[in-house]
Amino acid sequence: MKEVARLAGVSTMTVSRALTSPGRLSEQTLRRVREVIDRIGYVPNRVAGNLSSDRTTLVALIVPNLRNAILAETIKGINDVLFKHDFQLMISDCANSPVIEEKLVRTYLAQQVCGIILHNTMHTPGTKTVLRAAGIPCVETGNLIASPLDMIVSYSNSAAGSAMARHFAERGYRRPGLITLKIRDRERIRAARRGFLAGLRTAGLSIDRNAILEVDAGLESAGKGMAQLLEAAPRTDAVYLVGDVLAAGALFECQRRGLRVPDDIALASSDDSEWLANLIPAMTTVRYPRYEIGVQAAQAIVDSALGRRHPLRLDLGFEILQRQST
Amino acid sequence: MKEVARLAGVSTMTVSRALTSPGRLSEQTLRRVREVIDRIGYVPNRVAGNLSSDRTTLVALIVPNLRNAILAETIKGINDVLFKHDFQLMISDCANSPVIEEKLVRTYLAQQVCGIILHNTMHTPGTKTVLRAAGIPCVETGNLIASPLDMIVSYSNSAAGSAMARHFAERGYRRPGLITLKIRDRERIRAARRGFLAGLRTAGLSIDRNAILEVDAGLESAGKGMAQLLEAAPRTDAVYLVGDVLAAGALFECQRRGLRVPDDIALASSDDSEWLANLIPAMTTVRYPRYEIGVQAAQAIVDSALGRRHPLRLDLGFEILQRQST
DNA sequence: TTGTATGCGTTATCAA
DNA sequence: TTGATAACGCATACAA
């Protein structure tokens, strides 16, 4: 910057202004400075700028699992908003561990991020303490819980579960089943299960204990889980699958066994994706606005960083997309 | 840090050392400092540290499209290595535009990242200039090109294309087809096509011009493309689909039309995924080590940042997984 | 509209 | 093993 200032015959402050508030310079000074910047290929050091101004444009995102394709849309939404405002995204994977999440939060606070987006909603006491102490905006996106750390942009997994139970009842199914990802540390899955079971009760349906299963992630694991359920509770007529790709794995297992979906058994998924819509039969799913969740979460951080901070509890809702599988 | 120093009765340098090189402090001093840090919840300001030491642990990644699920494995590989070494990942989406890529590269250089990973291998002259001037390590991962900017960790898309052509020939197919994503600005797709066409020639097969198509991304777009190909070149007996999820879209279209795969028409994909392995029929694909590419790319950056810089051209190879669809 | 003086919180360097 | 000092490159605050 000194070099640019020297060559343009101005002070470093003028160069600084040319970059941060060009409107406050005369046209000819601005032109002269920009010319030098282009000519010598000056790239400002934002680390120094950040230290001096005590602000950054860094936003952190911590997701439970980078492999989960369902998150890609939300990440894209975050990316697009941050890019538009010249903010940068730092991202990492906490492997669904609140302890790792806390370590990551501390790391990001040390990097002076101006905001944090957490997909998980279960945190260690340490996470809560340091976040509160830092006073930076924080958005949770994974589940619409009652007491967020700060802001929350999501939809209700438990309401979606209830809605699916109602859907099963309305379609005339009487012996429901439920396969979810392992619940430990996954607030979303727990909420979906609770909502589904409550919805069944409301609809006057009961569920066989043997028809409730937890499985690991992945198509093959889902297939095995489906096989297990079919053996333990063979009269089951409709299964709700909660967790990325589980429903597809279950469908493939049914097809391998020659079961007709939905005639022999109905299936529905908690996560919509292009895939599920194109399977044969097309899968009934919960759809929620994943891209929009990312957009709103990022926008909330940007607004806060720009001084327009406000409380935020945004329920972006969901819908049940009935397709051929129920 | 001053506060910690005061409370521990030491200088700030000693606090600094307690964080960065604890081995150089006496045990009792270290214990005392750490005690104070924990007690008052001190979080160091790495922005200041970065400015002072003229080093960061920030690594940038620019991908062509965050929605592309095929990248998730690579990103996970990068994440895991960076986490292990206490480096942080900054990520963004250049929407397959070299111009946006350049803007992002400049932004990341301003943030003083210690290394950059670029998935694309086509860059503007400006990108090349500023990267060279910055002198930081850079790894390209999307395609094993001849003249990388710096380091490269990938596999050869053109060799994979040739291998698939050979596979078609060996399986007895005689009227091949090719559907790819739009080629503009996609070096990988271009290479795959070139390799496939060259492989066909080598195998003595010719391809109908009407059996070569470019389509937009997405299952539905792939379905339409397949429909178009079947009408324009109805005698086609084996189609290679280059680009995420295209093969699945094509398969669904065949199923809708009552075509048997592979008896009426064979299909193969350029990208392996859990999905493609579980479709019925299971899809023949190219498999390449996506996670390992991320691991090696990140490791190369970390090594460079830690002073162990070395030239790197890593071909991690691929294999053709023959399944039921060919 | 532009410039001067100062400080951001840490680490490199050198000295003790 | 520890400390004093200066410096990193920029932006804030204030003055002109």
Nearest to B161 by CA among B242, B216, B218: B242
Q: Which nucleotide is nearest to B51 (CA to C1')?
A: D8
> Is-contact A65 A282, C-beta < 8 A?
no
Reported as a single tens digit per residue, the pLDDT across B73-100 is 999 999 999 999 999 999 999 999 999 9
Mean pLDDT of A132-143: 96
Smallest CA-to-CA distance from A250 within A289, A211, A287 is with: A211
Interface of A with B in 116-155 (CB under 8 A): 129-130, 133-134
DSSP letter at B22? G
Distance, CA of A95 to CA of B54 (rounded, Å): 31
B93 neighbourhood in chain A, CB within 8 Å: 76, 79-80, 83
* Residue A279 pLDDT exceeds 90: no
Joined together, the tokens standing for residue A104 give: 């990551």
- pLDDT of B149 > 90? The answer is yes
The mean per-residue pLDDT over the stretch A93-110 comes to 97
Cβ atoms of A194 and A162 within 8 Å: the answer is: no
CB contact under 8 A, A274 and B112: no
Element housing B196 (H / E): helix B187-202
Mean pLDDT of A127-143: 96
* Cβ–Cβ gap B91/A91 under 8 Å: yes
Q: Which distant-in-sequence residues (6+ apart) come within 8 Å of A15 by Cβ?
A: A1, A4, A5, A8, A33, A37
Distance CA B112, CA B160 (A): 37
**CB contact (8 A) between residue A93 and residue B76:** yes
pLDDT value of residue B280: 86
Closest-CA distance, A115 to chain B, in angstroms, reads: 14
Whether the pLDDT of residue A244 is over 90: the answer is no
Record the tokens describing residue B77, joined without a space: 């590989």
Q: Do the chains contact at A274 and B245, CB–CB below 8 Å? A: yes
Please answer whether residues A63 and A90 qualify as being in contact, where contact means their C-beta atoms are separated by less than 8 angstroms.
no
Q: Is the pLDDT of residue B316 over 90?
A: yes
- Closest to B298 in 3D by CA, of B108, B60, B54, B46: B60
Show which of residues 180-239 on chain A sit within 8 Å of chain B, judged by CB atoms.
218-220, 223
Per-state percent for chain B, helix, strand, coil, to nearest 5: 50, 15, 35
- Is A20 an interface residue toward B (CB < 8 Å)? no
- For A19-73, write each residue's pLDDT tens digit: 999 999 999 999 999 999 999 999 999 999 999 999 999 999 999 999 988 899 9
Distance from C-alpha of B241 to C-alpha of B261, rounded to nearest angstrom: 14
- Residue found by looking up tokens 């999501």 in the block: A154
DSSP state of B61: E
Of A91, A134, A252, the CB nearest to B280: A252
Lowest-pLDDT range of A176-180, A191-195, A216-220: A216-220
Instruction: Give A61-118 as a 3 state SS string.
Output: EEECCCCCCHHHHHHHHHHHHHHHCCCEEEEEECCCCHHHHHHHHHHHHHCCCCEEEE
Contact residues, B window 283-322, toward A, CB-based 8 Å cutoff: none
Average pLDDT over residues B144-171: 97
Q: Is pLDDT at A101 greater than 90 in this prediction?
A: yes
Per-residue pLDDT tens over the stretch B107-142: 999 999 999 999 999 999 999 999 999 999 999 999
Eight-class DSSP state of B94: -
If you ran DSSP here, which 8-state letter would residue A282 be given?
Answer: P
Nearest CA distance, B249 vs chain A (angstrom):
8
Residue A201's pLDDT is what? 98
Query: What's the mean per-residue pLDDT of chain A?
Result: 96
Length A5 CA → D16 C1' (Å): 20
Q: Cβ of A91 and B90 within 8 Å?
A: yes
CB contacts, 8 Å: A86 with chain B:
107
Instruction: Pick the closest to residue B275 from A189, A278, A188 (CA basis).
Output: A278
The number of residues in chain A equals 326
CB-based contact A85:A300 (threshold 8 Å)? no
Residue A69: the pLDDT is 85
pLDDT of residue B96: 93
A with B: how many residue pairs have Cβ under 8 Å apart?
A: 143
pLDDT of residue A299: 98
Residue A79 touches chain B, beta carbons under 8 Å: yes
Measured N-to-C along each axis, helices B187-202 and B157-170 cross at an angle, to the nearest 10 degrees, of 40
**Is the confidence at residue A142, as pLDDT, over 90?**
yes
- Residues 6 or more apart whose CB falls under 8 angstroms from that of B243 comprise B180, B181, B189, B215, B217, B270, B271
- Give CA–CA dist B259/A263, Å, rounded: 24
- Residues B187 and B190: their CA atoms lie apart, in Å, by 5
For residue A169, how many other CB atoms are within 10 A of its CB? 18
Q: Are B74 and A51 in contact (CB under 8 A)?
A: no
Asked if A94 has any chain B CB less than 8 Å from its own CB, the reply is: no
For B115-131, the DSSP string reads EEEES-----HHHHHHH
Spacing of B35 CA from D3 C1' in Å:
21
> Is-contact A294 A81, C-beta < 8 A?
yes
Q: Answer whether A89's CB lies under 8 Å from B92's CB.
A: yes
B17 beta carbon to strand D: under 7 Å: yes
Please give the Cα distance from A13 to A244 (Å, whole number).
52
Is the pLDDT at A238 greater than 90? The verdict is yes
Q: What is the pLDDT of residue A68?
A: 87
Question: Which DSSP category does B283 fall into?
Answer: P
Q: Which two tokens stand for residue B212?
A: 């070569």
Is the CB of residue A112 less than 8 Å away from at least one CB of chain B?
A: yes
- Residue from B90, B96, B131, B280 whose CB has the most chain A CBs within 10 Å, to mutate: B90
> What count of Cα atoms within 13 Å lies in the side-chain half-sphere of residue B73?
13
Contact B112, A46 (CB under 8 A): yes
- Strands ordered across the beta sheet of B284-287: B212-215, B176-181, B238-242, B266-269, B284-287, B319-321
The model carries a pTM of 0.95
pLDDT value at residue A243: 93
Which DSSP helix (H) or strand (E) runs through A255? helix A246-256
Q: Is B106 on the interface with A (CB under 8 A)?
A: yes
Which residues, 6 or more positions from B309, have their beta carbon under 8 angstroms from its beta carbon? B137, B303
Strands A151-154, A176-181: pairing is unpaired
Nearest CA to CA, how far is B79 from chain A (Å)? Answer: 6
Write out chain B residues lying below 8 Å of A85, CB-based. Answer: none
Exposed, middle or buried: residue B309 (CB in 10 Å: 0-12, 13-18, 19+)?
A: middle
In this structure, which amino acid lies at residue B16? S
Q: What is the pLDDT at residue A194?
A: 98
Check residue A185 and give its pLDDT.
79
Do B89 and A90 lie within an 8 Å CB cutoff? yes
pLDDT the model gives residue B116: 98
| Strand positions, DSSP E, A163-219 | 176-181, 212-215
Beta-carbon contacts of B163 under 8 Å, excluding residues fewer than 6 positions away, are B195, B199, B286, B318, B320
Q: What is the CA radius of gyration of chain A?
A: 25
Check residues B138 and B278 and name the one with the higher pLDDT.
B138
Task: Kindly determine whether the C-beta of residue B306 is less than 7 Å away from any atom of nucleic acid strand C.
Answer: no
Burial A191-227 (b: 16+ CB within 10 A, else e): bbbebbbebbeebebebeeebbbbbebbbbbbbbbbe
Which residue has the least CA–C1' distance to nucleotide C3? A11
Distance B13 CA to C16 C1' (A): 15
- Residue A230 clears pLDDT 90, i.e. is over it: yes
pLDDT at B274 over 90: no
Spacing of A214 CA from D8 C1' in Å: 54
Chain B residues 40-99, Cβ below 7 A from strand D: 48, 51-52, 54
Q: Which residues contact B130 (CB under 8 A, 6 or more apart)?
A: A41, A43, B102, B105, B106, B109
**What one-letter code names the amino acid at A267?**
L
pLDDT digits (tens, 9 = 90+) for B177-234: 999 999 987 999 999 999 999 999 999 999 999 999 999 999 999 999 999 999 999 9
Q: Please state the rounded mean pLDDT for residues A259-281.
A: 93
